[in-house]
Structures are given as C-alpha cells and as structure tokens.
Amino acid sequence: MVSPPVADEPAHRSGALLDHLSRRIRSRSESVLAPLGMRPRHLLALTLLRELGGSSQQALAKTLEMDGTNIVGLLNELEADDLVARRRSATDRRRHVVELTDAGRARLAEAESALAAVEDEVLAGLDGEQRATLHALLQQASGCPPPTCVEAVKNC
C-alpha cells in the first residue's frame, strides 16, 4: 500500500541535503585520516587532550563516554604511534595522566589541515560569505553556542 503524500509539505526540506553533505564529509574525512593512521575517535581524543592540556585516563574516558577497556585500547593505539604519553600522576600514583606528545600535536595539525581541505572540497559551491552564513545557521539550528571540542562532546 502506498502512503498518500503529506498535505501542506514544504517544497524545500533540508534533511536529505544535510544527510547527503554529512555522508560526503564523513566519507572523505575518513579517507584523508586513514593515511595518517587515524580514525575519527583518534582525532577526537587528540583534540580533547590538546584543549585540556592533558587529562587523567579516567576523566578522558568519562568525557568520551568510553568504558575502561575501550579507553585503554584507544590510548594503546595512540601511544604505539607516540602521539600520547601516559605517566603516573605525581599526586596520586594510582592514576595515569595522559598528555599529547610533540608528535601528537604535529599529527593533529596535519589531520586538521587535511580535514579543512575536505570541507573546502565538499563546500566548493559556496563562497566565503555563504560558508559563514551556513555555519551560523547550522549552529543556530543545533541550539548550541560555539563549542570547544570538550563542550561539544559533553553538551550536544
């Protein structure tokens, strides 16, 4: 049975277009992160560590909403590439403090540059002013003020 059309449907719905752009950006982002040995979860963890200036392993797990086993696996991957360093807390030897290494900062900068190029590619049909307007409208629609990475993870 075919559903009847929705009455008074606006001619311009944005959901499908937003979904399409989101898929394009996600796909291209994953493809530029892969040669850097990174996945989106690596990027998020490195960005958080940069913004936080380091973190306890437990606090990082809480912020990323990851259980202990998964955060250990993530940090093992990042540590194996010398992107983060874990050390015992000077104030509480039971805790591990995780910090971004110089190599981690460099890799994060490289990833952010690659992701900026992806955004430029996907949004090539818009000029600078249109991109600024799009960003402002998307921010308004999300109901969130301009977040830091930490705020974005915690609040929205």
CATH of the domain at 112: 1.10.10.10
Whether residue 116 is found in the same domain as residue 52:
yes
Whether residue 47 is found in the same domain as residue 114:
yes
Whether residue 39 is found in the same domain as residue 94:
yes
Q: What is the number of domains present in the chain?
A: 2
pLDDT(89) > 80: no
Which of 90, 98, 86 has the alpha carbon at shortest distance from 50?
A: 98
pTM: 0.78
User: Would you say residue 112 lies in a domain?
Assistant: yes
pLDDT(38) > 60: yes
Model confidence pLDDT, tens digit, residues 49-59:
999 988 988 89
Whether residue 92 is found in the same domain as residue 47:
yes
pLDDT of residue 94: 78
Model confidence pLDDT, tens digit, residues 95-130:
889 999 999 999 999 999 999 999 999 999 999 999
Q: Which amino acid is at 19?
A: D
